[in-house]
Amino acid sequence: MCEFEEKVKKALEDILESSDKPRIGVAVSGGADSVALLLAMSELVSPLYVITINHNIRPAEESAGDVDFVNEVCEELKSRGLQIDCKTVELARGTVAHEAERRGGGIEEAARHLRYAAFENFAAEHKLDALCTAHTMNDQLETVLMRFLQGSPVESAGGIRARRKMPGQNGGAVFARPLLGISRFEIEEYVKKRGFTWRTDKTNFETDYLRNKIRLKLVPFLNENFPGWQKPVLAGAEKASEDAELILSCTESFSVSGNENVEIVLEDFLHAPAAVQRRVLLSACNKAGETTRIPSLFIKEVIELAGKKDQFIKHFAGIDIILKKNTLFIKKHSENSTDLVFSAIIEKTGTFEFPFGVLDVFNYTEQDGKEYVSICAGDPCGISSLVENITLPFCVRTYRLGDSVICADGSQKKVSDIFSDWHVAPETRSLIPVIQLLDEKSQKIQAVLAGFLGYKDWIVKL
């Protein structure tokens, strides 16, 4: 047994604690990380149950090629006398897109949801004690940095957990990450020494998503300018995870009644620590059926109002929060939220409040007789969307059915089609601001800002 496999064995034993001869599965995509996990686990566990998933969201030759590659590796290991049971799960083309539309989120989020549902079914089918996924030390660092930049709470700032219990009726089954303490360099070296290769997903080199930006731009910068940054960042994440356990125990003990119509006793709520208040209110909104990401600013405003007012009504997306008779009521919004309309002409720098959150206008400059600013839209305590070089004055407003934007090739595309491509739920579209220029006759739309809601930003490069 080589040093790499010893590391994996030790990590798995720590995760599973006292499990005797556990039934283990491995999720394999075909990338270097999952291939390394497959190779190591095949030496440590017998039989080993393998699952690979074709999401059918990339060109057929790529996604099918990944699945074929995983099956070929498994067959090679079986030919060497190892006990491998490999199952392929193929999602029909369009399934992920349909799920994204149903959930009101992006393609990647929907793919992850369906993937983990398949993992849980696979674990139940094979009565597994653990299903291992190939998250590495690099993934952990990227996750911690990403959540820091998003202003995430401590339970998220702790990063990826080595052990997570599966939901549903899978007994004591867990997701296990035995590679979290191993770097990607070690992983690739191990695969090469074993005489195997791996598949590369081309989307890993695109910078449309925050994680890829961190991996391709921020991490290399930190490596060059801040040697040794990885260790303290991981240590800080571990401390955050420990703090999160305490806050979670306090939140879970807080009394909240109802499901779709949630009630919270005001006196108990006001006496709770701020960290508990935020989490209780977010949990209540989710119980009431709100699936859209709720800005921290909205939660903060509700908490402040609860301490000052005898009664109020606050609305966001699909929910209403109502204070009356010393009780907070959280329920589904009674009107059609797509009726929400906002519009304002911005003529100077400053901070402006809108239904979607706030709009920060800053970095004022003058050039060739024109005034330019930068814009940050969304949640100042979390994810925001940034666009630069906007001319004053400009208009920020709700999108209209006839709106269109310029594409890179000079063609026009309807904003409604962009929302369809991003799988933005109808009730969320009215919360996405459009930035319209006012310094020219055409009054072009320069930006559609949806990044702070978990989608993308469409920014026209003029």
Write down the pLDDT at residue 109.
82
pLDDT of residue 178 exceeding 50: yes
* Mean pLDDT in residue range 359-388: 84
**H/E element, 34:** helix 32-44
Mean pLDDT of the chain: 87
Residues listed for the chain: 462
Q: How far apart are CA 192 and CA 32, in angstroms?
A: 10
CB contact at 8 A, 415 and 403: yes
Predicted confidence band of residue 136 (pLDDT cuts 50, 70, 90): very high
Predicted confidence band of residue 337 (pLDDT cuts 50, 70, 90): very low
Write down the pLDDT at residue 225.
95
DSSP state of 432: S
Write down the pLDDT at residue 89.
93
Predicted confidence band of residue 119 (pLDDT cuts 50, 70, 90): very high
Predicted confidence band of residue 334 (pLDDT cuts 50, 70, 90): low
From start to end of 252-383, where are the E strands? 262-265, 312-316, 319-324, 327-332, 343-346, 350-354, 357-367, 370-378
Structure tokens given for 20 = 């005797």
Structure tokens given for 194 = 């074993």
Write down the pLDDT at residue 379.
67
* Residue range 152-162, pLDDT digits in tens: 778 788 889 99
Give the amino acid at 249: S
Write down the pLDDT at residue 63.
87
Write down the pLDDT at residue 338.
43
CB-based contacts of 161, cutoff 8 Å, min separation 6: 177, 241
Structure tokens given for 3 = 């040093």
Predicted confidence band of residue 335 (pLDDT cuts 50, 70, 90): low
Write down the pLDDT at residue 19.
59
Least confident interval from 280-284, 327-331, 337-341: 337-341
Q: How open is the CA angle 300-301-305, to the nearest 5 degrees? A: 120
More confident call, 155 vs 415:
415
Predicted confidence band of residue 434 (pLDDT cuts 50, 70, 90): very high
Q: Which residues on neighbouring strands pair with residue 367, listed in sequence order?
A: 370
* Residue range 66-107, pLDDT digits in tens: 999 999 999 999 999 999 999 999 999 889 888 887 776 678
pLDDT of residue 410 exceeding 60: yes
Matching residue, tokens 């002409």: 345
Q: Residues 259-289, buried b or exposed e (16+ Cβ, 10 A)?
A: eeebebebeebeebeebbbbbbbbbbbebbb
Highest-confidence range of 127-141, 277-291, 409-423, by mean pLDDT?
Answer: 127-141
CB neighbours (10 Å) of residue 131? Answer: 24
Write down the pLDDT at residue 125.
92
Q: Which residues on neighbouring strands pair with residue 359, listed in sequence order?
A: 352, 377
Give the amino acid at 352: F
pLDDT of residue 18 exceeding 70: no
Burial tier of 455 (Cβ tally within 10 Å: 0-12, 13-18, 19+): buried
More confident call, 384 vs 395:
395
Share of the chain above pLDDT 90, in %: 49
**H/E element, 269:** helix 266-271
Predicted confidence band of residue 375 (pLDDT cuts 50, 70, 90): very high
Write down the pLDDT at residue 229.
95
Predicted confidence band of residue 42 (pLDDT cuts 50, 70, 90): very high
**H/E element, 148:** helix 137-149
* Mean pLDDT in residue range 413-422: 89
* Mean pLDDT in residue range 202-209: 72
* Residue range 233-291, pLDDT digits in tens: 999 999 988 888 888 888 888 878 877 789 999 999 999 999 899 999 988 988 888 77
**H/E element, 49:** strand 48-54
Distance of CA 205 to the CA centre of its chain: 18
Write down the pLDDT at residue 266.
92
* Residue range 304-323, pLDDT digits in tens: 989 988 888 787 777 888 88
- Pairing, β 384-391 against β 370-378: antiparallel
* Mean pLDDT in residue range 46-57: 94
DSSP string, 190-232: HHHHTT------GGGG--SSHHHHIIIIIHHHHHHHSTTTHHH
More confident call, 180 vs 167:
180
